[in-house]
Structure 1
Amino acid sequence: MIKLAVIGFGSRISAVIAGFRHMNNTVRVMGIMDPDEKGATERLHDRDKEDVRFYKSLDKMIREVKPDALVIGTQCNLHSKFAIQAAKYDLPLYLEKPVAIDMKSARALEKAFEKSKCEVVVSFPLRVSPIAIKTKELIDSNELDPQHIMAYNYVPYGRGYWEHFYRDYTISGGLFLQKATHDLDYITFLMGKKITRISAMGTFNLFKGKKRAGLTCAKCKEVESCLESPLNRRMGDYGGGHDHKCFFSKDLNDPETANEDSSSCLMQFEDGSHGTYNQVFYSLRDTGMRGSRISSYKGTIEFNWYKNKIHLMKHFDSFKADYSPQGKDAGHFGGDHALSWDFVNLIQGISKSRTPIETGIQSAYNCLAARESMHSGKLVNVRQVGQVK
């Protein structure tokens, strides 16, 4: 039996643990730290409800449960706090992204893991998705040596970042930390190079307004005319048809604490090559796209996760090639499945993590630099893992 101790048992992490159980049906949740005991209990698998115990102290949970591994799935602003505590136990750890939402927390997290034997699987499913793994294989086997990347993410479900806790900047840290942390991670993986400087911009024109703070659709008189109302969403079959906070309220007017409608960054890599990344959160329906076009002297390779296809064009060859993964797609384009496999294998001592804590911290540093640049209008140097000062 694989015994798990979980910190923050929300809907996302309960789905993640279901993935672990799919890989090994002996996985059991034996201890939970979560202030919402009722909600956590409702999300538990039936086999766990009888034996699970709730705790207020991580140390006590570790001593009494004696888990084989830890899982952290709290709200984003608490990831680093509990990961720092977990570092001293030397247990396998599954850590949700972003690993930190500010520089102080990110640096404290790096320090906590400097001498820790705690091995971590950071929740970066794009890096380990079949499309990304095959793209990296093609880049390396064809000796492409990437010199430029144009990456993009047109998010058809982006409204969720204004409906739920993500709109609270003190919890989410903004959309570079929430969304781009995935993409800047896979970008460095495919390029095989560190990002050293970033210049970023954001647009804050759409989701703001004059409505009172705290207004929800259920209390609004404009549900028939507002395109974001549950009524119109159900009629138009876009987005969720549930009550939610207003997208056009006063509390969204300050760019320093609001989510951007879209944002972009220009990245320079350690060898002087560069690239761009764009994320757009008001896309809908079939406009969703996520992928990259990577250019080198010898060839160009591009992919789009939504189309599930890789296109390789060698500049000095008469032929081009397309690649598509076989089998059924899964969460995060197959990446969730791969992460579950990685974590269960890590617990059993079969293999090492492909998304260790260093990847999570470096992605946080990349995104913090982008966020700083977006607000300051300046080119920002990216802090590197292992940097002394």
Structure 2
Amino acid sequence: MTLVSDTQHTVTPSKPSTIRLAAIGLGERAAWITQLITEQDEHAQLDVLVDPNPQKAQERITQNKIRTAQNLAVFDSIDAMLQSGPEIHGVIIGVRCNLHTPLALKLASLNIPLFLEKPVCINWQQYEQLEKTYAAQSDKVVISFPLRVTPLLQAVREYITQGRLGTINQIQAVNNVSYGSVYVDSWYRDYEQTGGLWLQKATHDFDYIHYLANAMPLCITAMHSRCVWQEPVLHQDAGSAIVQYDSGFHANYTQNFITRQGAGRRGATITGEDGTISFDWTTDQFTFHSHKQNRVETVTIKTDTGHGGGDPILAKNFLDVIRNRDVSQTPLREGLLSAGTCLAARDSANQLKVVNIPTPFGDQAPSPISRRVEPLE
């Protein structure tokens, strides 16, 4: 699997000039990202706002101290914005999940960088539409995958790439969500808007798992349950999945939404021939156990910004994409790979079978594993 962040690119930086941004749906998340962008670049400003509740959006602009154009253009629909033909250099899409794909499709003709919230799609039809429309623009889309770029995960990945773990045979990931009540006490309760909690929550985790694996996922088997929550809630309150990779090893992931208080945990254990490393974003800490020496290393990486320090890094990358200084470090290709994994997990859990995970943009599919680990009877 070729990782965008590991690939050398030739880019010609643009000279400093005003960066004119548009925000489509300025909720808390989009307002936070827009704030980070305008804080990091004095030439960046919000020129266009599309929001069905402009008064609330204006309040967020004030609260977050977002720099705006002197004459901020406000629209109640994306169609009205597009008809006006505004001069914009980047768009932040922060609407609810079921609208991520439809709005991205409408903006594709502009051929400008997008900051797109996850999940990028909530069903297979949307997956196929995005894949078809953005085949040539994947690297211009920055997906909101902050966990991938956090200092903690980057430090863990450095141990892996330096060979400290040796040959890896398994990743064990867990997400015990201590704030799971938000998925039944707010708009997240609406399954039609979220697509369920594989897409709403696991898309982050599958992305960083794929990133650490540095291999292509082949297939997935999953189960989910609803033992505590009751109808009309349609969400799972727990789910587990196993992903098989073309390199031969597998990863397992478990999410639980009934966890509360200090029992929350989000991280993974990666086991290799020479060592084991475990990390947890709730403690900002990782621990490496050497299998060859009586040695344990524990490292704490403290951050004071959103998503373990990943959000400011995403904001900077978006600015770099706009200025043609870099390509997306969380491109749409990875957004689709993660969403496809989530959709396959949902299908697997509902149909009680193993489901293949598609390879985005018609890339060559990984070869199936040729050897069996244990003989068949």
Range into which the TM-score falls when normalised by the shorter chain: 0.7 to 0.9
Alignment of 1:336-375 (within 5 A): 336-375=311-350
- Pick aligned residue for 2:276 from 300, 323, 334: 300
TM superposition shift of 1:354: 0.8
Whether the 8 Å CA contact 1:8–1:34 is kept in 2: the answer is: yes
Give the corresponding residue for 2:301: 325
Give the corresponding residue for 1:76: 97
TM-score by length of 2: 0.86
Alpha-carbon distance change, 337 to 138 in structure 1, aligned in 2, over 3 angstroms: same
TM superposition shift of 1:152: 0.2
Give the corresponding residue for 1:175: 197
TM superposition shift of 1:50: 5.0
Whether the 8 Å CA contact 2:138–2:333 is kept in 1: the answer is: no
Aligned residues: CA RMSD: 1.9
TM superposition shift of 1:118: 6.7
Alpha-carbon distance change, 2 to 275 in structure 1, aligned in 2, over 3 angstroms: same
TM superposition shift of 1:324: 2.1
Give the corresponding residue for 1:192: 214
Name the amino acid aligned to 2:92: V
1:325-373 per-position Cα deviation (integer Å, ceiling 9, x unaligned): 25x3321111112111111222222222110110101111000000111
Which stretches in structure 1 are left out of the alignment for 5+ residues? Answer: 209-249, 253-257
Secondary structure of 1:100's match?
coil
Which stretches in structure 2 are left out of the alignment for 5+ residues? Answer: 1-17, 366-377
- Pick aligned residue for 1:274 from 250, 261, 267: 250
Give the corresponding residue for 2:51: 34
1:75-104 per-position Cα deviation (integer Å, ceiling 9, x unaligned): 100001111222221211100000000001
1:160-204 per-position Cα deviation (integer Å, ceiling 9, x unaligned): 011111111110000000000000000000111122111111111
Give the corresponding residue for 2:238: 262
Percent identity of paired positions between Structure 1 and Structure 2 = 33
Give the corresponding residue for 2:173: 151
Give the corresponding residue for 2:128: 107
Secondary structure of 2:115's match?
strand
Give the corresponding residue for 2:33: 16
1:123-172 per-position Cα deviation (integer Å, ceiling 9, x unaligned): 00000001111111110102633210110011111110111111111100
Give the corresponding residue for 1:85: 106
- Pick aligned residue for 1:251 from 215, 232, 251: 232
TM-score by length of 1: 0.83
Mean Cα deviation higher: 266-275 or 283-292: 266-275
TM superposition shift of 1:376: 1.1
Whether the 8 Å CA contact 2:132–2:361 is kept in 1: the answer is: no
Whether the 8 Å CA contact 1:199–1:373 is kept in 2: the answer is: yes
Secondary structure of 1:336's match?
helix
Partner Cα distance (1:5, 1:187) in 2: 32
Secondary structure of 2:118's match?
coil
Give the corresponding residue for 1:51: 71
Alpha-carbon distance change, 61 to 137 in structure 1, aligned in 2, over 3 angstroms: same
Partner Cα distance (1:139, 1:320) in 2: 16
Partner Cα distance (2:203, 2:84) in 1: 34
TM superposition shift of 1:387: 3.7
Secondary structure of 2:68's match?
helix
